[in-house]
Amino acid sequence: ARVKFVKSAQRLGFSLDEVAGLLRLDDGAHCDEARVLAEQKLEDVRGKLADLQRIESVLARLVHDCCASHGTVSCPLIVSLHGNKEPC
């Protein structure tokens, strides 16, 4: 049962340290504390999603720029990674 608990928590993105904190609340009488931990994880996940959406947008633009730059000397993606053009 404990391994199943740990694996379920990990699938939700909780680290082993965070799972240990949840296990200390395992008696079911600490719902407010568990909710706070889940809210913190949710905030972390939302931050990661925002970062991934920003990365997706920048990469999509760079891929488009690469496709649109036929015949140019410099690849827009490579130029951007060298820091000659700010990607974000």
pLDDT tens digits, one per residue of 51-63: 999 999 999 998 8
Q: How far apart are CA 23 and CA 3, in angstroms?
A: 11
In a domain, 88, yes or no: no
**pTM of the entire structure?**
0.70
In a domain, 13, yes or no: yes
CATH code assigned at 34:
1.10.1660.10
Residue type, 26: D
In the chain, how many domains are there?
A: 1
pLDDT tens digits, one per residue of 2-47: 999 999 999 999 999 999 999 999 887 889 999 999 999 999 999 9
In a domain, 10, yes or no: yes
In a domain, 19, yes or no: yes
In a domain, 68, yes or no: yes
Domain residues for the domain of 46 are 2-81
In a domain, 87, yes or no: no
> Which among 14, 15, 10 is positioned nearest to 38, based on CA atoms?
14
Helices and strands, counts by H and E, the chain: 4, 0
* Burial class of residue 36, CB neighbours in 10 A (0-12, 13-18, 19+): exposed
